Amino acid sequence: MGPDVRLSRARATTSLVLAAVLSLGALGRSSRAADGPTAGAPAVHETLREFQPTSKYEFVADPKASTTPEVYFSARAATYLLRGTALGLPLLVRTGVCSIESLTEEALLDRKDGGFDVRADAKTTALGCAVLVGKDLLIDVKGLKGKLAPKPPLLGWEKAANVLTAIPEYARDAKKYAISDDCVSSVKTTKGKVRVFVYFGTWCPTCSTVMGRILRLEQEVTKDAPAPKEGEAPAFQFDYFGAKPEPDTWDEPELKTHGIEILPTGLVYVDGKEQGRISGYDWSRPEAALRRVLDAAK
- Say whether both 76 and 186 belong to one domain: no
Mean per-residue pLDDT, 157-165: 97
Please tell me whether residues 179 and 279 are part of one structural domain.
yes
User: Does 99 lie in the same domain as 197?
Assistant: no
Note whether residue 49 is domain-resident: yes
Among candidate residues 113, 128, 150, the one where a domain is terminated: 150
Given 115, 130, 150, the domain boundary residue is 150
Last residue within a domain, chosen from 134, 150, 166: 150
Residue 145 and residue 161 share a domain: no
Range of the domain at 209: 156-296
pLDDT band at 228 (very low <50, low <70, confident <90, very high): confident
For residue 250, is it left (φ>0), alpha (ψ between -120 and 50) or beta? Answer: alpha
Percent of the chain whose pLDDT exceeds 90: 78
Q: Is residue 1 part of a domain?
A: no
Share of the chain above pLDDT 70, in %: 87
Does 197 share its domain with 246? Answer: yes
* Contact present, 166 and 55 (Cβ < 8 Å): yes
- pLDDT reported for residue 39: 59
Domain co-membership, 174 together with 198: yes
Of 230 and 158, the structure prediction assigns the larger pLDDT to 158
What's the rounded mean pLDDT across residues 197-222? 97
CATH number at residue 224: 3.40.30.10
Judgement on whether residues 132 and 186 belong to the same structural domain of the protein:
no
Q: Average pLDDT, stretch 68-92?
A: 95
Q: How confident is the model at residue 38 (pLDDT cuts 50, 70, 90)?
A: low
Q: Over the chain, what is the mean pLDDT?
A: 88
